[in-house]
Structure 1
């Protein structure tokens, strides 16, 4: 058995403590871990108990990393999980941390979907197809994505594509109508609008 010979607060972070084992530094842990395991001076610890303490510490580290990452920018569940895996955290601890973050409302893919759709419509002026692909790539459930995009009417989609088409037309230095049509079509399809919408927009702009 090993004995705790000293516990002291860390100088730069009073929410953490250093635990000394047999007069040598043992490990640093979150104050919540100290309380959870009722650690005190002269307490004897087995190797298995120390391993359990350190695993709990790692779990808190993963959770806190998630909080910091989410505070910097909104993320989908998949995006956050990938960042945690890139940091080298244990998959089991990642899953626990993400579940806790979801239960506390810090991760919400429906809210993330709403924010991204609004950003791409009002900012980038993307079409629904490109927005949908971006959300799929970020791991947002297809049902959540599809339900949100159904709220965008065909009229709204057309008006957005028409606005982009008029803007693009100003930069096209072509006299030939077919070449203008081709460049407009490629631009709007790249922006994520479906073929039928693109066709109607080009017909209106070029009065075909």
Structure 2
């Protein structure tokens, strides 16, 4: 039966040891493995015991990897499991490590959801739907997702949402109807619900002066008209230009008036 002839501390890690059987290096072991099996020099170890030591050692490796991974930030069961599998820890051992993490409160999905909620509300302009998606992708249970998404909606300051919306509006020039459409699209992409967006629309100032709209229309008209002149002839240029500008939210009579001001009557003129 093989005998332990030497147990030496590893040079680069004082909590790991090299195990020698019959003067031949057998494997490296964790200090917890050493203590768990009470290994000592001159102990005899049969094949069954060595198998148990190897299995326990992989479990301890998994635990150490999980602790290190979680030390950077909070993790979910899904995240830890995927990480351990990438580190080539056997799936059966991963299950044991996950159980250890739950026992030691290293994994706590409610704490994870609470922490992410607070961080996102304080540091981002994202709405509850983005938060909800992040929880889903992290593998959080549906009941926790629903509960904490409701809390996110309740706790996100309305004034912060208004500021986010106003910033978008300041970047989206044009007719009010188009500003509202663009704002709605942007807010949906940021994770806000239609109900919230509807509330915010009533809080914003969309007042745009006639002079500003007139200048915007002039600029749009020049771009659209000259582009259409390269594709169409005659009155079709005017028709296509009017259609394009109406889709951008400008009113028909304003467009016609601006065309007349520009001296366009038959679609052959070039706007300088």
TM-score (norm 2): 0.71
Is this contact kept in 2: 1:8–1:18, CA < 8 A?
Answer: yes
Runs of 4+ in 1 over 4 A off after TM superposition: 152-158
Aligned twin of 2:194: 195
Aligned twin of 1:65: 65
Say which structure is richer in strand.
1
Aligned twin of 1:139: 139
What are the Cα deviations for residues 123-156 of structure 1, in whole angstroms up to 9, with x where unaligned? 1122112211111111111211221232345695
- Structure-1 separation of matches of 2:115 and 2:10: 39
In structure 1, list runs of 5 or more residues that go unmatched: none
Range moving further from structure 2, 58-67 or 25-34? 25-34
Aligned pair in 2 of structure 1 residues 38, 139: CA closer, same or farther (>3 Å)? same
Range moving further from structure 2, 145-154 or 2-11? 145-154
Measure how far apart 1:159 and its partner are: 3.7
Is this contact kept in 2: 1:161–1:198, CA < 8 A?
Answer: no
- Structure-2 separation of matches of 1:190 and 1:106: 33
- Structure-2 separation of matches of 1:98 and 1:153: 31
- Structure-2 separation of matches of 1:155 and 1:179: 30
Measure how far apart 1:14 and its partner are: 2.0
Is this contact kept in 2: 1:17–1:29, CA < 8 A?
Answer: yes
Measure how far apart 1:59 and its partner are: 0.3
In structure 2, list runs of 5 or more residues that go unmatched: 208-272
Measure how far apart 1:207 and its partner are: 5.3
Measure how far apart 1:180 and its partner are: 1.1
- Structure-2 separation of matches of 1:96 and 1:45: 25
Measure how far apart 1:26 and its partner are: 0.9
**1:171 is the counterpart of 2:171:** yes
Is this contact kept in 2: 1:127–1:157, CA < 8 A?
Answer: no
Q: What are the within-5 Å matches in structure 2 for residues 99-138 of structure 1? A: 99-138=99-138
Measure how far apart 1:106 and its partner are: 1.3
**1:18 is the counterpart of 2:27:** no
Is this contact kept in 2: 1:135–1:145, CA < 8 A?
Answer: yes
SS at match of 1:6: strand
What are the Cα deviations for residues 73-99 of structure 1, in whole angstroms up to 9, with x where unaligned? 221221111111221211121111111
Is this contact kept in 2: 1:5–1:23, CA < 8 A?
Answer: yes
Is this contact kept in 1: 2:128–2:153, CA < 8 A?
Answer: no
- Structure-2 separation of matches of 1:13 and 1:156: 47
- Asked which structure has the greater CA Rg, the reply is 2
Range moving further from structure 2, 154-163 or 142-151? 154-163
How many residues end up aligned between the 2 structures? Answer: 207
Aligned pair in 2 of structure 1 residues 58, 156: CA closer, same or farther (>3 Å)? closer
